[in-house]
Amino acid sequence: MGNIFKLSAILFLVGGIAAGMLAFYNSFTKPEIEKLKAATEAEARQYVLKGLFPEDKMDALIYDADSLEIGGKKEIFWKVRESEQERNYKAFVFLSKGQGFSGVVETMVGTDANFRINTVKVLKHTETPGLGAESQTIRYGEEEPYFETRFKGDDPLIVIVEKDDNDEFDNVESLTGATITTRAVCSSINKYAAAVKEKLSAPPVIYVDPENIISVEEILKKHKEEEAAKAEAEKSGGAE
């Protein structure tokens, strides 16, 4: 009987030491992994916006993160403006996720201000090599994956696989032997784009610049002045 306790104690000890070592190791790989993840994400965002902004402004773009809710889960998307002074959003970026053939396919999508797809980028997938994995393949002598170019200029709300054809929709030629992957990308883009669009058309939150708050009296005073100026202008106009 005592043997069981001894064995359990040894196993417990080994497990404890292993867990301690891993915790220690994790403590210095974790920041690296997170740094890398943030860098990849930033790079992907720039990639999908390529061509929408002047080359020299790409590094200084302001990404305002906003969140949306899909299937009970909170997801982030970005509204992009050129500089701190610029108030109008010139582009939107979102990360759509959909179930592919053997796992979730994550696609970063960049759209212009009119909500047309600029570029998509398949970020993460576990699809079959040679079929669904072709979504990331860059052909020899080409600069970008050929699959991504099939989305350019389409309306993200209605991209659809060419096979499931319908005249009202923007068609995307499917990857050879990987219709399911293509469908996953298309339908996830549809779903997330709809959510983004809904969020964008919601009444905007009024922006208050804390440095330029004007008191009500000031506004009234300004208004009165304007009225007076207007009346004067009318008066002088009438005299003529």
Partner 1 sequence: MSVMKNLTKGFFKENPVLVLALGLCPSLAVTTSIENGIGMGLAATAVLIGSSTIISFLKKFIPESIRIPIFIVIIATFVTMIDLTLQAFIPALSKSLGLFIPLIVVNCIILGRAEAYASKNSVFSSMIDALGMGIGFTIALVLISSVREFAGTGSLFGYPLFQLMGIEGFQGSIMMILPPGGFLTMGLILGFMQWNKLRKKAKEGGR
For binding to partner 1 (CB under 8 A), which residues are involved?
A: 6-7, 10-11, 14-15, 18, 21-22, 25-26, 29, 32-33, 36, 40, 124, 126, 128-131, 140-141, 177
Q: Which is nearer to partner 1, 82 or 134 (CB)?
A: 134
The token pair at 179 is: 């219709």
Q: Which is nearer to partner 1, 39 or 113 (CB)?
A: 39
Angle in degrees, CA 9, 12, 13, rounded to 5: 85
The token pair at 168 is: 């009202």
CB of 44: closest distance to partner 1 in angstroms? 13
Count CA atoms closer than 13 A to 10's CA, side-chain side: 5
Q: Which is nearer to partner 1, 126 or 153 (CB)?
A: 126
Residue 92: closest CA among 226, 19, 234, 201: 201
Cβ-contact 132, 180 below 8 angstroms: yes
CB of 40: closest distance to partner 1 in angstroms? 7
Q: Which is nearer to partner 1, 36 or 233 (CB)?
A: 36
Q: Which is nearer to partner 1, 37 or 224 (CB)?
A: 37
> In 87-205, which ranges are E strands?
91-99, 104-112, 117-124, 159-161, 170-172
> In the chain, which ranges are E strands?
62-70, 73-81, 91-99, 104-112, 117-124, 159-161, 170-172
CB of 188: closest distance to partner 1 in angstroms? 19
Q: Which is nearer to partner 1, 124 or 199 (CB)?
A: 124
CB of 36: closest distance to partner 1 in angstroms? 6
Residue 123: closest CA among 93, 159, 158, 153: 93
CB of 15: closest distance to partner 1 in angstroms? 6
The token pair at 43 is: 């790079």
CB of 35: closest distance to partner 1 in angstroms? 9
Residue 107: closest CA among 116, 120, 93: 120
